[in-house]
Structure 1
């Protein structure tokens, strides 16, 4: 586990007496939920990311890829497809995919910073990578303003700089479409270092799980290029 893991740190902080063991169980819960996230890649190699609302109970205002819970009887792809449609309006037909696969897993806990309290949400997140036959220009998004307050398409050059922020120039920007008070999404420029900079308090940046999954996807892409 990484040094910032809230589950480990809370355990080490409290696991000293029988009373504190009971406190750990009562405050963090005993169940681990399963979530699924879709890394949606277009034919021209752009990746869709979205920003969560400030009002959300976990990871508010953070950038993620579309995803959520799994309903009874759903496969990972079915759950991810449903969540993708609910959040962004993209209808994913299995027949239009060039490829799809389970890319990686991530153990997620929130809050990440113990200064905000003990972990209250604990998930294992399954990241499913899909590559569509459509390009960015062929896709019409209709995001749900109650779930998505901004979205962006990242190209692979931007992805490489997010994964290796040493090559990032301070003035580099990325294009995002941000929801206004009328639920309209307007294009604006944002500093790319918001996404490239790791911030383990998880304040308006990529979540750690999203960063991990994008890093794995970028590594996979480099490997494919060398083959």
Structure 2
């Protein structure tokens, strides 16, 4: 199945497929790790342009890590990645599920996965054309953790775009995968206890999950190291997880 790829749109320039070795954030703002952009899904293309430049597009922030490996690639390292250039930049969608009592669901990726094994992340994955962004995110949520979201009982909004590279440190090896991830916030009208009853983990993809408060999520996202005693017990002691932790 054909995957969705990133295409870059600029005034007075042809629309081009983003190169694997090209920082999408840097394309729109060479001087920062943040860019204000407009995006729109069009079939197998995720079009990204400057703010307000796409009819029917949505304006959001696009961010990359300060130490983004693509940003830090030397010319020689970029040459070594020639074989991956044809891959372009792939697209993913990630769902931040927030319960009515303000808990957020995180999952731990299975240790055998090639991409970010053992990492704590929100549920998510690729878009399977012709499905739309929200539909893709909710499908991945159901496939990974078993929760089926009723759109009539929730609100959905786009938080922003994140430029994701694996490995996420250049010291750990040259980049193997390059994605733009669309982060969607899904606010459910159900509390986390009720949602927990629906959880049935797909162990091929995730081996644990946990509900955390927004302040803890912010600490994890921004790379802070909260005191170990403030972490949920199942994150402090991952061996205690079961399929409904």
> TM-score normalised to the size of structure 2?
0.64
SS of alignment partner, residue 234 of structure 2: strand
Residue 95 to residue 158, structure 1, CA distance change in 2 (3 Å): same
Which runs of 5 or more residues in structure 2 are unaligned? 1-32, 34-64
Alignment partner, residue 34 of structure 1: 91
In structure 2, how many angstroms separate the alpha carbons of the residues matched to 1:72 and 1:94? Answer: 20
User: Higher strand fraction: Structure 1 or Structure 2?
Assistant: 2
Q: Deviations over 1:49-68 (max 9, x none)?
A: 00001111111100000000
Aligned to 1:106: 162
- Residue 220 of structure 1 is matched in structure 2 by none
Distance 1:91 1:179, change over 3 A: farther
Match of 2:204 in 1: 146
Which residue of the partner structure matches residue 25 of structure 1? 82
Greater RCO (CA < 8 Å, at least 6 residues apart): 1
CA distance in 1, matches of 2:70, 2:223: 27
- TM-score by structure 1 length? 0.69
Q: What value does the CA root-mean-square deviation take over the aligned residues?
A: 2.7
* Compared CA separation, residues 142 and 31, structure 1 to 2 (3 A): same
Q: 2:221 aligned with 1:156, yes or no?
A: no
Stretches of structure 1 that go unaligned for 5 or more consecutive residues are 188-227
Superposed CA deviations along residues 169-188 of structure 1, whole A, max 9, x for unmatched, are: 443230438588xx94375x
Kindly indicate which of the two structures has a greater share of residues assigned to helix: 1
Please, which of 204, 213, 231 is the counterpart of residue 173 of structure 1? Answer: 231
Cα distance between partner residues in 1 of 2:66 and 2:221: 19
Greater Cα shift, 125-134 or 30-39: 30-39
How many angstroms does 1:158 deviate by? Answer: 2.9
